Amino acid sequence: MTNAVIVDAVRLASGKGKPGGALSGTHPVELLAHVLRALVSRNDLDPAQVDDVIGGCVSQVGEQALNVSRTALLSAGFPDSVPATTIDRQCGSSQQAAHFGAQGVIAGAYDIVIACGVESMSRIPMGVAGLDKDTNGPGIRARYPEGLVGQGISAELIAAKWKLDRETLDAYSAQSHQRATAAATSGAFDKEILPIDVTNAAGETVSHTVDETVRAATTPGGLAGLKSSFYTDDYAARFPQAGWHITPGNSSPLTDGASGVLIMSEESANKLGLTPRARFHSFAVAGDDPLFMLTAPIPATRKVLAKASLTIDALDVYEVNEAFAPVPLAWAQEFNADPAKLNPMGGAIALGHALGSSGTRLLTTLVHQLEATGGRYGLQTMCEGAGMANATIIERL
């Protein structure tokens, strides 16, 4: 069987997803174009050799509309002959892009492919694509007569079901910031972060190289003072089990970002004199209860471990996206996972969650973490809107 390998993986440092954020003055096409340009230049690769660019983006409207991946590759100077597509599997969009790219290599459809993602949440606010529209239709209303809920309420339901109290959620969230701060201070992110020139509030051109969403001074005590984000009287009456523990402090922040991985067959890498850094070992995708919405990483992980013929103990690192603190904590309970291996460099609560970029962002961090520690196997899994999740196992080479 053909091995699909990762030759390079890079990301931009996060920017706060609001006006005035470090990346908010840069068009999303240019954020992604910068990543694409770097992936070929860093590896002395002729971009004409890229068979396809598969990008993830959730809010495909406005400046991110009309196949932002194709627009970005043209902006990056790729030849007209290189195609691209943009996909939406919600928060896992670019993780799915990596799946499609690697699976295409394994099937023999591609020799070289770039999987990537972008999201500018400062310029294209979350939810704007369905603003004032019925995105469900009568069939969904008939199937779920009490109505589905937003992700924040789903996070509350998960916290209640897995008996995760406010103190536990806040302690985990503070740890995410502490771990990210330690990683940044030690230089652990230096190899994965791609510098980008941006214009700051003073109109000066500066190089953006540090995750803007990390708050080094975060403590559980500081987070304890934040109010519930999603409590309403109606929801409290419908869900009396909820503790109303979800706050901005134990949720991922709105974020701008872009990231990408260069994937090719092992044979192509060898021919080009490039060193494969990791291979794709196993893939899975799963659905789960859309009311709980964020629990699908659990069945997705079970599926991918079974396909890989591995146990959780065989994994050296797990990157479980921190959309909200209950997501990785419930996952860890289900697998009796080692907390030291769970998001060891911090997760999205600290590093941000630029929706369409997050899949390849986590994959980039996972590759670099395995290299830094000498670990062999790494797992990535991501909760996704409407109750889905991707899971990926890679093996360091």
Domains (ranges, CATH) in the chain? 281-396 (3.40.47.10)
383 among known catalytic residues: yes
pLDDT of residue 214: 98
3-state SS, 252-274, equals: CCCEEEEEEEEEEEHHHHHHCCC
Q: Quick check: 1 pLDDT over 90?
A: no
Encoding tokens for residue 382?
Answer: 């991501």
pTM equals 0.98
Residue 202 pLDDT level (bands cut at 50, 70, 90)? confident
What is the average pLDDT across 53-68? 98
pLDDT averaged over every residue in the chain: 97
Q: What is the pLDDT of residues 298-351, one digit of tens each?
A: 999 999 999 999 999 999 999 999 999 999 999 999 999 999 999 999 999 999
Angle at 300 between CA 298 and CA 306, to 5 degrees: 105
224 vs 201, higher pLDDT: 224
For residue 103, name the pLDDT band (cuts at 50, 70, 90). very high
Quick one: DSSP state of residue 91? B
Crossing angle of helices 297-308 and 326-335, rounded to 10°: 40
- Catalytic residue among 99, 177, 281, 383, which? 383
Q: Which is the catalytic residue, given 34, 91, 177, 208?
A: 91
pLDDT over 90 at 113, yes or no: yes
**CA 252, 256, 262, 263 torsion-angle sign:** positive
DSSP H helices, the chain, are 28-41, 68-75, 93-107, 138-143, 151-161, 166-186, 220-224, 233-238, 266-271, 297-308, 326-335, 348-351, 358-373
pLDDT of 186 reads 98
Nearest to 305 by CA among 388, 385, 378: 378
Q: How much is the pLDDT for 201?
A: 80
| Pairwise CA distance, residues 211 & 43, whole Å | 25
Identify the residue whose tokens are 């390079």.
8
* pLDDT for 132 beyond 90: no
Active site residue 281: no
Q: What is the pLDDT of residue 129?
A: 87
pLDDT tier, 130 (very low <50, low <70, confident <90, very high otherwise): confident
Q: What is the rounded average pLDDT of the residues 189-204?
A: 93
353 is an active site residue: yes
H-run or E-run covering 86: strand 84-87
Do the beta carbons of residue 397 and residue 377 sit within 8 Å?
no
Residue 231, helix vs strand vs coil: coil
Among residues 99, 245, 353, 368, which one is catalytic? Answer: 353
Contact 251, 152 (CB under 8 A): yes
Q: b/e for 79-113, b at 16 or more Cβ within 10 A?
A: eeebebebbbbbbbbbbbbbbbbbebbbeeebbbb
Residue 383, classified by CB atoms within 10 Å of its CB into exposed (0-12), middle (13-18) or buried (19+), is buried
Q: Which two tokens stand for residue 350?
A: 């600290």
Tokens 């969904």 belong to 140
User: Buried b vs exposed e over 12-44: b needs ≥16 C-beta within 10 Å?
Assistant: bbbbbbeeebbbbbbbbbbbbbbbbbbbbeebe
